[in-house]
Amino acid sequence: EADIYQTPRYLVIGTGKKITLECSQTMGHDKMYWYQQDPGMELHLIHYSYGVNSTEKGDLSSESTVSRIRTEHFPLTLESARPSHTSQYLCASSQLPGGNSPLHFGNGTRLTVT
């Protein structure tokens, strides 16, 4: 079934560790996004990509980095996790081109940095 998959679902990690949040989609979409969201709160765009080798920073400044080597894969990396990075990270994708198209979200990774 075409969907967008995020792993891990939950992650508890100590300060200073390097982490990578995985996001893969089988929807054939070119555009992918990372949002940061405290549970039930506002969605903040932190990174997006229009296609392979394209990455842009979003509206909310983030210490994380992303890469887009393959169309279906858009991992997010934190080189040195801090407690302030504790949040939920949602990956999303949408179709390109075609003008206005809805976002499809993954189930998210809930990150806790101790």
Partner 1 sequence: GENVEQHPSTLSVQEGDSAVIKCTYSDSASNYFPWYKQELGKRPQLIIDIRSNVGEKKDQRIAVTLNKTAKHFSLHITETQPEDSAVYFCAASKGTNFGNEKLTFGTGTRLTIIP
Of 81, 86, 67, 62, residue with least CA distance to 22: 67
Pick between residue 14 and residue 40 the one whose CB is nearest to partner 1: 40
Residue 40 Cβ vs partner 1, minimum distance, rounded to whole Å? 5
**Could you give the CA distance from residue 74 to residue 90 in angstroms, rounded to a whole number?**
12
Joined tokens for residue 83: 């407690």
Q: Specify the stretch interacting with partner 1 by CB under 8 A; choose among 10-18, 63-71, 78-86, 90-98.
A: 90-98
Pick between residue 15 and residue 60 the one whose CB is nearest to partner 1: 60
Q: Which of residues 24-43 bind partner 1 (CB under 8 A)?
A: 31, 39-43
Residue 100 Cβ vs partner 1, minimum distance, rounded to whole Å? 3
Is 1 a residue that touches partner 1 (CB under 8 A)?
no
DSSP class per residue in 25-88: E-S--SEEEEEEE-TTS--EEEEEEEETTEEEE-SS--S-EE--SBTTB--EEESS--GGG-EE
The residue within the footprint of partner 1, chosen from 19, 23, 48, 66 (CB under 8 A), is: 48
Question: Where do contacts with partner 1 occur on this chain (CB under 8 A)?
Answer: 31, 39-43, 45, 48, 50, 58-59, 90, 95-108
